[in-house]
Amino acid sequence: MDKLKSTTVVAIRHNGKIAIGADGQATLGNTVVKDHVKKIRKLNDGKIIIGFAGSTADAFTLMERFDEKINAYGGIMKRAAIELAKDWRTDRYLRKLEAMMICINAQELLLVSGTGDVIEPDNDILSIGSGSMYALAAATALKKHAPSLSASDMVKESLTIAADICIYTNHNFVIETL
């Protein structure tokens, strides 16, 4: 059976706000199996929001582990992300999970991967998933050439451009702002 294909998740910090959004499509091979998947979740009483791409079951496993780390480290997102990345690389079970996460709070944007990466971008833009490069290019251009847009509007437009190009990304968006 083919694995579920990725998605597009993008996060942008702009003018003191951080927004994160994702499309809602899940595919199996070249077939759309669901078009309203919620790939954005709030943690820590809404102070942290994550977006995930990759295998859905793997992403939920990582989200649960991340939530445990957040609670264990007093809500400090960066510390929780680093500890999750360490576990993800070294734990025999977690090491096989195929997903990525973007984590945001009011101050930070972090990309967490199974290779042990915890990345905070220089340009205040992160994207993951099959349409990530399209969304990243669009977000970069919007920040440079349309600075009057809000972070949320930039996320929406970046996802729209990715969905117009990437067959594994649709136009059913969920967008959250901090």
Residues 6+ apart with CB under 8 A from 40: 9, 20, 21, 22, 49, 50, 51, 174, 175, 176
Based on the residue annotation, tell me whether 169 is a catalytic residue of this protein: no
Residue for token pair 């702009």: 14
Question: Per the residue annotation, which of 7, 8, 27, 169 is the catalytic one?
Answer: 7
- Positions annotated as catalytic residues are 7
